[in-house]
Structure 1
Amino acid sequence: MATLESFSVRPIGYVHSAYTQTEDVAHTHTGWTADTSQIHLFPRYAKGLGGLQGYSHIIVLFWVHKAKEWKMPKDHHKPPHVKLFATRMPVRPNPIGMSVVELLDFSTDTGQITVKGLDALDGTPVLDIKPYIPNFDNYSNACVPDWLKEHLNSRHHNGHSRHGHPHKVSKT
């Protein structure tokens, strides 16, 4: 099997958001719920929004264009010392971001999408949009390690998810 050393992707549009600095996103653990953002698709992709009626949420894949240059860290900055692929840190070999957001409105004429809960900076390139389908995207048997359960239930996160809902992470 042949392997690719690199390939290119093209954005389908850009984010218009109140977040302009990476620090704005990094420190808003529970504040994303109230914020709305717009995704502006390029005209040739606007008609691709047809059929999204009835979906409450979408998955947005984007390029974290202001992430620091990636290098393999020795350890995660706080205990437990886990490696890169056990974290959701934005500094990665390919800085691809993913958010499940509430779909508020969209137009197949203008290509504008209004969403709630997008943790992307203003000007962020959007790579793809997919409908969130609970039967496919929600796994009732998924689990996380104990250290993450403790972190999510800590005061640092006020026991809430990024969408402001209480975490349902048990310690067992």
Structure 2
Amino acid sequence: METFSIHPIGYVRERDGSKVLEVLPEYRPALDKLDEWGHVVSVWWFSGSDNPDTRSILRQTRPHQSSPGEAGTFATRSPRRPNPLGLTVAKIDRVDVEQGLVVIDRHDALPDTPLLDIKPYSPGSDRVEAPILPEWAAHWPKSREESAVFDWAKEDGKA
């Protein structure tokens, strides 16, 4: 089996009530001009869910309240997966290149989660105008703004 080496470029942090992508010193020059964009896509490691047992889970039992009884891991957003990668789109509030900080409006990773990459959100590449969802997820929010006020706790299959 082929393997790869991935190193964090920084960490997801919480400072003074704000979510922050904290970039390590050697990667800070890569933040130049990021402040010209409105949103960022961060790729991160579900470090709290990374162990051999969770990496071997290929089927999820009732991942959401209205979902079918079982689904393949790649049909879910579960942190329990062969490579526990997370992806978050966030609004950029401020970028400080010297300090290596990207202050954002929200993030779904826990503080101190390893940050693997940052990309500017570009609607021409990242937005799907007419997404196709399974029937059981058709009531989910159609934008990240709607998602911020959606009651995701009711969707948890464990409830």
Give, in angstroms, the shift of residue 36 of structure 1: 2.9
| Equivalent residue pairs, number | 140
Match of 2:112 in 1: 123
Q: CA RMSD, aligned part only?
A: 2.3
Seq. identity, % = 30
Instruction: Tell me the SS of whatever aligns to 2:83.
Output: coil
What stretches of structure 2 of length at least 5 have no aligned partner? 152-159
Counterpart of 1:137 (choices 123, 126, 138) is 126
Counterpart of 2:57 (choices 53, 72, 80) is 72
Match of 2:40 in 1: 58
The separation in 1 between residues aligned to 2:96 and 2:149, in whole angstroms, is 27
User: Matches of residues 1-172 of structure 1 in structure 2 within 5 Å?
Assistant: 5-17=2-14, 36-67=18-49, 69=51, 70=54, 71-77=56-62, 79-80=67-68, 81-150=70-139, 152=140, 161-164=146-149
Q: Residue 6 and residue 129 in structure 1: after superposition, are their counterparts in 2 closer, same or farther (change >3 A)?
A: same
Q: Residue 125 and residue 74 in structure 1: after superposition, are their counterparts in 2 closer, same or farther (change >3 A)?
A: closer
TM-score scaled by structure 1?
0.73
Give, in angstroms, the shift of residue 164 of structure 1: 2.5
1:99-122 per-residue CA deviation (whole Å, 9 max, x = no partner) reads 000111111111111111211111
Q: Is the 8 A contact 2:50 2:84 kept in 1?
A: no
Amino acid in the other structure paired with 1:14: Y
1:44-72 per-residue CA deviation (whole Å, 9 max, x = no partner) reads 11111111132110000000100153232
**Structure with more helix by fraction:** 2
Give, in angstroms, the shift of residue 76 of structure 1: 2.5
Q: Residue 140 and residue 65 in structure 1: after superposition, are their counterparts in 2 closer, same or farther (change >3 A)?
A: same
Q: Is the 8 A contact 1:67 1:90 kept in 2?
A: yes
The separation in 1 between residues aligned to 2:72 and 2:57, in whole angstroms, is 9
Amino acid in the other structure paired with 1:111: G
TM-score scaled by structure 2?
0.78
**Structure with more strand by fraction:** 2
Q: Is the 8 A contact 2:59 2:71 kept in 1?
A: no
The separation in 1 between residues aligned to 2:59 and 2:35, in whole angstroms, is 46
